[in-house]
Amino acid sequence: METGNIFTALLAGIVIGALGRLIIPGRQAIGWILTFVVGLLGAFVGGFFAEGLGLDVWWQVLVVQAVVAAVLVLVVGLFTRSRAPSRRDQG
């Protein structure tokens, strides 16, 4: 990955993580920091995926990064929510 792509991945991960938290209503089972970390990881994975597909145009790479990051944030959020105890279970 080039330096510009790394910067784009950082920015995309933070933005996608923040948007993911704002879009899902109610209280989330994961915190802000974990959301940003998962968004960053998804953006980097998406960047490598886009590079593997041979995409060179910056907006195409950004779209792939955003999609992969959003899916990863959604999956981790759903997994964490399903494992978190509900209020009924706490007594």
Residue 90 maps to a domain:
no
Which residues constitute the domain of residue 9?
A: 3-82
At 37-85, the pLDDT tens digits run: 887 888 888 888 988 999 888 888 878 887 887 788 778 877 876 665 6
At 7-38, the pLDDT tens digits run: 777 787 777 777 767 766 666 667 778 877 88
Neighbours of 22 (CB within 10 A): 8
Residue of 87, 70, 72, 68 lying closest to 27 (CA atoms): 87
Residue 55 maps to a domain:
yes
| Total number of domains in the chain | 1
Predicted pLDDT at 86: 58
Residue 42 maps to a domain:
yes
pTM for the whole structure: 0.69
